[in-house]
Chain A
Amino acid sequence: MRKLILALASATMLAGSANAATVYPLDRATILVGSPFDFKVEFDAVVKPEDVKVTVNGQDYEAVFGKKAEFVAEEKGKEDEVLGSALILRDLAIEQAGAYKVEVSAGSETKSVNWDVYETAAEPKAKNIIFLLGDGLSVAHRTGARIMSKGMTEGKANGRLAMDDVPPVAFIGTSSTHSIATDSANTMSAYMTGHKSRVNALGVYADRTPSSLDDPRVETIGEALRRTTKKSLGIVTTSEVEDATPAALVSHTRKRADKAEIVGMLLDVKPDALLGGGSAYFLGKDVPGSKRKDDKDYINEFKNAGYALATDKTELAAAAGSNQERLLGLFHTGNMDVTLDREFLKKGTVDKFPNQPGLVEMTKAALDKLSKNPEGFFLMVEGASIDKMSHPLDWDRTLFETIEFDKAVGAAREFAEKNPDTLIVITGDHTHGVAIIGTVDDDKPGTEMREKVGTYDNAGFPNYEDKDGDGYPDRVDVSRRLFLAANNGPDHYETFRPKLDGPFVPAIQNEKKEYVANEAYKDVPGAVLVEGNIPRDEDTGVHTIDDVVLQAVGPGSEGFRGYMEQSDVYRVLADAFALGAPKK
């Protein structure tokens, strides 16, 4: 009997999936009232237009949506194969909040989805929002940053991080529309649009056609601010400004790698302050260092759009005081160097770009610029390299990045003290599989580094010192230091030591396109080979599916509570700014 039921169940499921159309936005989508989005139906089969029936809350869709969708007889795949018919209605906006049931049928295919079109408070609760995003920020990062930066005596922290006094208010689920796992594109996109999406996608639902620029769009927070407010918009990051996280505030593409196009999308929305790396995609292809395939000179286009340009720390200080309408700061052709290299070891590419500002300076410059607008602002600040150093398992650089991010949190809190109408949100976009195991003590007996790992009572406390009081340990290579380990990764050598010559490169590709342990670390005394536990075609440690912690303080922060989907966060932001106020 049990077997029969199972057989029946699986047969039903198979039949269901073979004949179901797909509707975008997906079932259980939450949509800000009045926000433009694309409606798309994908049929598995080629259907006749006269057979297609779409109703919304039982009425013909045209009557409710006010527009007719375009019918595509045959959508084509990569090899020109026929994927089925489709209906597309772009730039739809629903002006009436409420529950919407969309039912679609054609031939044997049916699909029904429910949308929650929501309105917000009538009046804004906050004038400003500072959204601080530690890319990949996990619990081990903040614990490690606290111990490294502040120290610990008899089990009690000797000081507090700036983020330690912002209440944790929610656990955030980061999963994507097609997988429990996730990346920085769809996660930040969920925060910044209110819609979950697929890995690598920004500001769109991922459809089945090969083009990355035709997928059904949803409104980004940048666009929503331009549509409904006169507030300023700021984007600050230590990565390329066209990287996934900053891009999520303005972009629509299925592929985060469309960086050349994303620069154009940034110009479309014109953030009032845009600071970070990534100038290579602003330069025409004939300029050495360019990564564009066309001749577009976006440096010039941004200047023509009223931007003051800064290319290093000194120019940033000068430009922040300028009277020009907008501020563009590009401090590296690629991702900016990390704090440990920039301020301490002078490794990485610091010899080529010696005068890069840090996240704190960029945050302060952006706050100066944006706070001149009496209407208020939305500022996103990203500590990008918490993630970029966690991937290659470089935990010392990761913790320095977390300390720097925390200092940016400090700058934001300082601003909010003087401007209490500011909502501060601090969170990560996804987690990494890292934990603090204990310490490594060089003075333990023997030569085997593994035997020098202290666990439980033997871990003791690390001996970092911060004599100059800058919040960073004066030296990272102290004799008793934190020992962090990843729960996943490629084959690599564990050296039990900080990488003083530049960021860790755990694995490199061999002729079979498999990642193998980088032999450069093989002869470090005491190094041990750690065998990987993820597929051999993966180069570094991966994102994990664990919830992230969200902290918030200020007007509107009461909207965050308990477990929330990443897409629900947008609704609280929209509510704080009353982006969907009921029409009077």
Chain B
Amino acid sequence: MAMAKRPRAFFDRRQMLAAFAALPVLSFARPAQAGERLGFGELYKSFGVLGLEFSDKVKQLSGREVTVKGFMAPPLKAEANFFVLTEIPMSLCPFCSSDADWPDNIIVVYLARKQTFVQYNAPIEAHGVLEYGSWVDPETGFVSQLRLREAGFNTV
């Protein structure tokens, strides 16, 4: 089996610091316990036909509060207690379309309390306790590999 060992950083560290410096308001808007930032490019160490491998960063941050920037996919139903966070805005709706599929790298966000869903065309920052490994949502049967628990989000 040939696994492509290609760790790829979505933002490099310097860019990220620059972004922080440029947007002081942003850090003010986030709760104090928002913890470390995790980029979509940092989720997996390798991609392969026979499976993906979680990055060391994901393993280290597991159980801790993290912040991830991404896009909210259209929810399964309005009253669902979770939504899917994607790297780029979804151009297809796997919940609606018969043959559309989710990308490999999604994060399922379980909200701590009800929050109004936002326009899917704009990026958000989700923060919550990171969890990895297979999980079947008991209500919907939706299977996820990465989750934020006790989560909230804000627009950026």
Enumerate chain A interface residues (CB-CB to B < 8 A). Answer: 200, 243-244, 255-257, 279-280, 283, 285-293, 299, 311-312, 314-315, 330-334, 349, 351-355, 392, 505-511, 513, 516, 518-519, 537, 539-540
Given contacts A256-B98, A352-B47, contact A288 B90 (CB under 8 A): no
Contact B141 A293 (CB under 8 A): yes
- Is B99 among interface residues, defined by CB-CB distance under 8 A? yes
Most chain A beta-carbon neighbours within 10 Å: one of B51, B97, B102, B143: B51
- Interface mask (B27-50 → A, CB under 8 Å = 1, otherwise 0): 000000000000000001001111
Determine how close the nearest CB of chain B comes to the CB of A36; give it in whole angstroms.
27
Chain B residues within an 8 Å CB radius of A290: 51, 134, 143, 145
Contact A334 B53 (CB under 8 A): no
Give complex CA distance A279, B101 in Å.
Answer: 13
Give complex CA distance A200, B97 in Å.
Answer: 11
A-B contact pairs, 24 of them (CB 8 A): A243-B99, A255-B98, A280-B104, A283-B51, A285-B134, A288-B52, A288-B134, A290-B145, A311-B1, A311-B2, A311-B48, A312-B2, A333-B47, A333-B52, A334-B101, A334-B104, A352-B4, A352-B6, A355-B2, A511-B117, A513-B93, A539-B91, A539-B92, A539-B93
Tell which of A286, A288, A508 touches B53, judged by Cβ atoms closer than 8 Å: A288
Contact A286 B134 (CB under 8 A): yes
Which residue of chain B lies nearest to A539 when distances are taken between CB atoms in the complex?
B92
Contact A288 B44 (CB under 8 A): yes
Tell which of A257, A507, A511 touches B99, judged by Cβ atoms closer than 8 Å: A257
Q: How large is the interface on B (under 10, 10 to 19, 20 to 34, 35 or more residues)?
A: 35 or more
Main SS at interface, chain A: loop
Determine how close the nearest CB of chain A comes to the CB of B146; give it in whole angstroms.
8
Chain B residues within an 8 Å CB radius of A289: 47-48, 51-52, 104, 145
Determine how close the nearest CB of chain B comes to the CB of A130; give it in whole angstroms.
26
Chain B residues within an 8 Å CB radius of A285: 134, 136, 143
Given contacts A243-B99, A510-B121, A511-B117, contact A311 B49 (CB under 8 A): yes
Contact B50 A279 (CB under 8 A): yes
Contact A279 B98 (CB under 8 A): no
- Is B138 among interface residues, defined by CB-CB distance under 8 A? no
Determine how close the nearest CB of chain A comes to the CB of B38; give it in whole angstroms.
15
Tell which of B91, B98, B119 touches A506, judged by Cβ atoms closer than 8 Å: B91
Determine how close the nearest CB of chain A comes to the CB of B82; give it in whole angstroms.
16
Chain A residues within an 8 Å CB radius of B50: 279, 283, 287, 299, 311
- Interface mask (B138-156 → A, CB under 8 Å = 1, otherwise 0): 0001010100000000000
- Interface mask (B78-106 → A, CB under 8 Å = 1, otherwise 0): 00000000001111110011110111100
Which residue of chain A lies nearest to B1 when distances are taken between CB atoms in the complex?
A311
- Is B133 among interface residues, defined by CB-CB distance under 8 A? yes
Contact A333 B91 (CB under 8 A): no
Chain A residues within an 8 Å CB radius of B121: 508-510, 516, 518-519
Given contacts A257-B99, A285-B134, A519-B121, contact A508 B89 (CB under 8 A): yes
Which residue of chain A lies nearest to B51 when distances are taken between CB atoms in the complex?
A287
Tell which of A288, A507, A519 touches B51, judged by Cβ atoms closer than 8 Å: A288
